[in-house]
Structure formats: structure tokens, C-alpha cells
Structure 1
Amino acid sequence: MSIDSNVRELLSSIPRNVAIEAAAKTRALEEVLEAIRAGIGIIGENYLQEAEELIPLIDERVRWHFIGTLQGGKIRRIVSLFDMIETVGSLKHAELIDK
């Protein structure tokens, strides 16, 4: 089954008020685009470096969520690139995000 058909089947089987987030971790650009065009509106990414390469290549309007492990030295870049950070493992990191 293709990504397109999987996404469409999933979206048709859940309530409209439920949001689905697709993890882009190690996926090719074409696979991420196929998921977005099938109706995915939130993309989760584990790795900052992959996101920095992928996000500029995608014209479609989607929300980007960081779902990886935070590293203190990268928090500023993560905050500027992502719409949401879902993984905050310490108060220190939360305070850095808040700055």
C-alpha cells in the first residue's frame, strides 16, 4: 500500500478533530511530500540537521514539530525552525526555550 493510500485510509477512519502527525525521521523528501499531499498537516522530525535540509525544500504549508532529544547547544536553532517542541526533558531546557 502506498503512503498516499495509507494516509487517506487513516484520515477517513478518524474524527475530523483528530490531528495526525507523521514522523519524517530518515524519510526521503518524496515520501514526506506524498504524506503531506495526501492530507498530513503536521510533520515530526527527530533530527535538527535533517529538518534544516528538508524544511526549505517543502513549499506546502505544514506545521513542523520537533520530536527528538533536545541538546542545549541546538535549542536556539530548534526554536527558530519548528512550530512546536514536543520533547523537553529538563527544566534547564525549558528555560532555554523560554528565552
Structure 2
Amino acid sequence: MTPIRDNLDRIHSRIADACAKSGRNPADVRLVAVSKVKPAPMIDEAFAAGQQLFGESYVQELRDKETSVHGPVEWHFVGALQSNKVKYLSGKVALIHSVDRFSLAKEINRQWQKIDAVAPILLQVNVGDENSKAGCTIAELPTLTRKIAALPHLSIHGLMCLPPYCDDPEQVRPFFRLLRELATRIEDEQIPGVSMKELSMGMSGDFEVAIEEGATLVRIGTAIFGERD
């Protein structure tokens, strides 16, 4: 068994245990293998082990890998996104996790309009109110959601967060719970074209707690591919 296959097996087992602990169906939690700065052969190895969803944080890197990876993988964009780079993602990604401002949403809408398609997106929320983190504020979220929902070539599927870093995953739990509560509030508003079915939260050090709090997409890199150089 290769190290990547072994790592994936361990993570799926941990996902199943976290779901059992919280009374959830493991089929409702999807693993996004965050492959940023990792070479295409490692992605091919993970795909051969059954992994299909891969997350990239850098547009140029995704463009390079998209033509180098052999398997028909599903790409997600999970990093901070500049409006002038959106055109390079058009039609190539299944989900953009990190939409945090209306100007970015407008550009995504414009680029997907050119290919007569709808871009599935998540809204990134700065749940810890950290100056160093991207994401809209909690106060901005309802208005931003309504403005973006009016764009015809975008479809809001849920929320994403990068909570403050803590060594103890239990200290991060309140931020995951907050994102779930925010999603519930948005869902209750019944905004046309808006779904809150996806919660993208949890990484290598805290994904089990995120699952217990409702994560449907966990973004894991180090625990699959090893430390980044």
C-alpha cells in the first residue's frame, strides 16, 4: 500500500468515526484533498487510490495541474481569489469555496456568462474577525448573500470558513458551530437561488470536530500528502 493510499484510508476511517459520534451519514461528508504545492504525480496517486475531489489555492498552479493530471478529477478552488485571475478558472472548477466580496462575485458571473454556465460558489465568512484572514464579516453576510444571489450565472451552495488556529481542536469548535448557525439563519430567509447545503470547514488538525458541527466538505492536505516544503 502506498503512503497516500494508506493516509486516505486512515482519514476515511476517522471521518466515519466522527460521523458515528455525531449521528451523521458518512456519505454526507466529502473529502477535498488539498494538493497545493504538491506535484501532479501525487494527485494521480491519490486518484488511483479513489480520491476524486482536489482543492487548489493558486490559480496558476491549478492551470498547470489541470493539463498534467491524468485522471478525470474534480477541481475545487479553495484559496484567496483575485478578480483578474477568475478568467483562468472559468469552466474548470466544480466549486469555488472562497467568494467573500461582491466585486469578485460579479467577475465570476461575467466569466461564466461567457460560457453560458452557472458557477457554484460558497461564501467565505471571517468567523474569527481576524485581520489576517479573508472572508466577509458576519454582519455583512446577509446583505452580501442577497446581492450575489441576484447574479444569474452564480449559484450559492453554502458557506466556508478558516477559523483562528488553535492547537486544541476543541477551541475551534465554537467557530464551526457559528458557521453552521449562520447557514441556518440564511436558509431561514429562503432567498431564491440560495442553498446552504454545503459547509466547507475543517482541515488536517480539526476536521473531526468540524464534522461533529456539520461540515459537509473537509479540506485536508498535510494528512494526505505530508508536510509542505
TM-score w.r.t. the length of structure 1 is 0.87
Q: Which residue of 2 aligns with 1:3?
A: 4
Alpha-carbon distance between aligned partners in 1 of 2:86 and 2:96, rounded to the nearest angstrom? 10
- Which residue, 68, 76, 84 being the options, matches 2:87? 76
Residue 75 of structure 2 aligns to a residue whose secondary structure is: strand
The alignment's C-alpha RMSD in Å is: 1.7
Deviation at 1:21, TM superposition (A): 0.3
Contact 1:67-1:85 within 8 A present in 2 as well: yes
- Asked if 1:17 corresponds to 2:33, the answer is no
Task: Say which SS state the counterpart of residue 44 (structure 1) adopts.
Answer: strand
Distance in 2 separating the partners of 1:94 and 1:58: 28
- Which one is further off, 30-39 or 40-49? 30-39
Note the residue ranges of structure 2 that are not aligned, 5 or more in a row.
17-25, 111-229
Task: For 2:12 and 2:69, locate their aligned partners in 1 and report how far apart those are by CA, in whole Å.
Answer: 21
Counterpart-to-counterpart distance in 2, 1:60 and 1:8 = 19
Amino acid across the alignment from 2:6: S
Letter in 2 for 1:40: Q
Matched pairs, number? 99
Match of 1:37 in 2: 48
SS at match of 1:81: coil
Gaps of 5+ in 1: none
CA deviation vs aligned residue, 1:65-91 (integer Å, no higher than 9, x gap): 011111111112122321211101211
Q: What is the CA–CA distance in structure 2 between the aligned matches of 1:45 and 1:3, rounded to whole Å?
A: 17
Query: Alpha-carbon deviation of 1:33?
Result: 1.4
- In percent, how many aligned pairs have the same letter? 28
SS of 1:73's partner is helix
Q: Which has the larger radius of gyration?
A: 2
Question: Any runs of at least 4 consecutive aligned residues in structure 1 with deviations exceeding 3 A, and if so which?
Answer: none
In 1: Cα distance, 2:47 partner to 2:12 partner = 12
> Distance in 2 between the 1:17 and 1:85 partners?
19
Does 2:114 align with 1:97? no
1:2 partner letter? P
